[in-house]
Chain A
Amino acid sequence: MSDVLSAPHVMEFPYTRSTGPVVGAFLTGLRDQKVLAYHSSDGTVVCPPPEYDAHTVAPVEAAKLIEVASEGVVTSWSWNPAPRDGNPFDRPFAWALVKLDGADTSMLHALDAERGAIETGMRVRIRWAAERVGFINDIACFEPAGG
C-alpha cells in the first residue's frame, strides 16, 4: 500500500484581462515615460485616470487625457515589514500615495527610501523600469527627488 496517488494543486485564478481604452492608454503612456491623467468634470485632475467620470458617470475619452509630471509629493505612506510575492521589493519597504505635479489625486506605488527619511509631504519622482512594456511595473518605484 505504498502507492499514494497525488496530483499538483496550483492555488491560482489565472485570468487574462484586457485593459480597455483608458487604462490601456495610461499603461501605454508609462511605456513611453509619460503619465496621463483625466481632467474631471468637477475641475480636478485625476491620476491615474478613471474609466468613467465620478460625477457625471460619462465615459472618459482617451483622446482627452492630459499629461502630468513624473515628480510629485507623498500624501500618505506606510511601512511594509513583510514583503510578499509580487511586491516591487523583496525586502521591507514603504508604500506611498503620491500626488504628481499637475494632478489632484494620488497614485499608489512602492517608495525606495530609508524608513527614517520618509515623511508626508516629501518630494519624490518616478524611477522608470529599464524595460517597459505598458504595465504598472514600468514604474519601478518612487524615489526621493532632488537633493
Chain B
Amino acid sequence: MRDVAIVSFAQHSQRREDTRNEVEMLIPVIREALEPIGLTSQDMGFTVSGSTDYLAGQAFAFVQALDAVGPWPPISESHVEMDGAFALYEAWVRLQSGDIDTALVYSFGKSSPGDVARVLALQLEPYLLGPLWPDAVSLAALQARALLDSGKATEKDLARVVSRSRKNAQANPYAQLKGDIDEAALLDEPLYADPLRKHDVPPVSDGAAVLILAAGDRARELSSNPVWIRGIDHRIDIQSPGSRDLTVSPSTTLAAKKAGVPKDPDIAELHAPFSSQELILIEALGLDETRTSINPSGGALAANAVMVAGLQRFGEAFNRINKGDARNAVVHATSGPCLQQNLVAVLEGSN
C-alpha cells in the first residue's frame, strides 16, 4: 500500500447560510485549504466530492458545485452521494493506483432551507420503509430505546455524552451548540422524541469542508507534519433496521479491525449525530473514555452539516495531530439510518 497523508484542511459551518448558495459557500473554503500548500485546484491529480442532491431538491445539483473548484480546463473528478468521508475513501483508493500524487476532497450541505429529518427518509429502502416517511430523529430514537432497554446505557449516560460535547465545543469556532452544561440540568429537560430529549438530537447546520491528500514524498514536500492514514475501511450492516440488533455496530467493529485501530489512541472523532450512537460506537471501537479523548471538537452533536460532518471528523483529528496536540487518532464516519454503514480510519502524525 502507498502511504497517503492529509496535508491540509479547511471548513465552514453555521446554523443558517442565508445569503450564499453552495458554490459561494465552498469557494473561500477551497481557497483556504489550498493556500498553505501553495497549489491550485488545477494541480490536483484527482478531485472528489460528497453531497446529496436531495438537500438541494435538484437532480445533479452536485455538478453545479464543481464551479467552486474550477473544472476548466477539464479535471479528473468524481462524486459520491454520501458524506465527504466516503469521498475521501475514494480518493485514497485512487491514490493507490500510483499515477497521481494529490487529491482534493470536498463536501457541502445546506440543510436549513428544508426539513432535513424528512429529506433523510429518502435514503431508506423505498418499498417497506420509505412510503411511511419515518424521519431520521424517530429512527434514531428507536435505536436509543433499544439501547436503554438492553441495560447497556442509561439516560444519565446520554446526558454525559451531551455534556461532554457541549463542553468540548466551547473551543470550536464552527460549533453551534456549546457551553458548560452539566448532566443534571440536561436530565431536567423534557423528553422530545421519547426516549430522546432535544439535546440528544443534532442541530440543523449548513456547511462545507475541504481536505487535501498527498502520497509519499509529495506529502512530505507539502507539509512539515503530514498526518498519515495508517488504515481505512468501511463496512455495512443489514439494510432493514428491524432485522439487526440496533444496540451494537458490528460493521464498525469489523472496519476498525481491518483499519488496525490501535489500543488507546489519543483522540477519537466519531460521527455520531445522536448521543446514543456515540455510546454504541465507543463500545464497537473498544475505546476507553478515560484514556482516549472522545470528540474533542464537540462532534456532530455540536454542528451537523449533513454530508460534511463525517469529513469534518477527519479534519478535526488532522488539525490536532498536525499541531502536535495528539499523536494519533481514530476517525469514524457513518451513513444511512441507525449507523447502517460505517467508515473507520487511523491517523498518525509524522513527528
Chain A residues in the interface with B (C-beta under 8 A): 9, 11-13, 15, 17, 19, 23, 26-27, 46, 48, 50, 54, 75-82, 84-88, 95, 97, 105-110, 115, 120, 135-137
Decide if B194 touches A86 in the complex (CB within 8 Å).
Answer: no
CB within 8 A of B132: which of A17, A46, A48, A88?
Answer: A88
B193 in complex: contacting residue of A23, A81, A137, CB < 8 Å: A81
Contacts of A76 in B (CB 8 A): 142-143, 145-146, 149, 246
B contacts with A, residue count (CB < 8 A): 41
Q: For residues 108 through 134 of chain B, which have their beta carbon under 8 Å from a beta carbon of chain A? A: 114-115, 117-118, 121-122, 126-129, 131-134
Docked CA distance A120–B129 (Å): 21
Question: Which residues on B are within 8 Å of A, measured CB to CB?
Answer: 54, 57, 59, 114-115, 117-118, 121-122, 126-129, 131-135, 137-139, 141-146, 149, 191-196, 238-243, 246
Within 8 Å CB of B121, what residues of A? 86
Bound: A71/B145 CA distance, A: 21
B127 pairs with A95, CB closer than 8 A: no
Give, as a whole number of angstroms, the nearest-CB distance from A23 to chain B: 5
B193 surroundings in chain A (CB, below 8 A): 78-81
State A80–B192 Cα separation when bound (angstroms).
8
Q: Which of A13, A85, A105 contacts B242 (CB 8 A)?
A: A105
Contact B128 A13, beta carbon cutoff 8 Å = no
Neighbouring A residues of B132 by C-beta, 8 Å: 86-88, 108-110, 136-137
By the criterion CB–CB under 8 Å, are B141 and A79 in contact?
yes
B135 touches A84 (CB 8 A): yes
Measured CA separation A77–B246 after assembly (Å): 12
Neighbour of A13 across the interface among B59, B127, B129, B135, CB < 8 A? B59
Would you give the shortest CB distance from A13 to chain B, in whole angstroms?
7
Bound-state CA distance A81–B54 (Å) is 24
From B140, which residue of chain A is reached at the shortest CB distance? A78
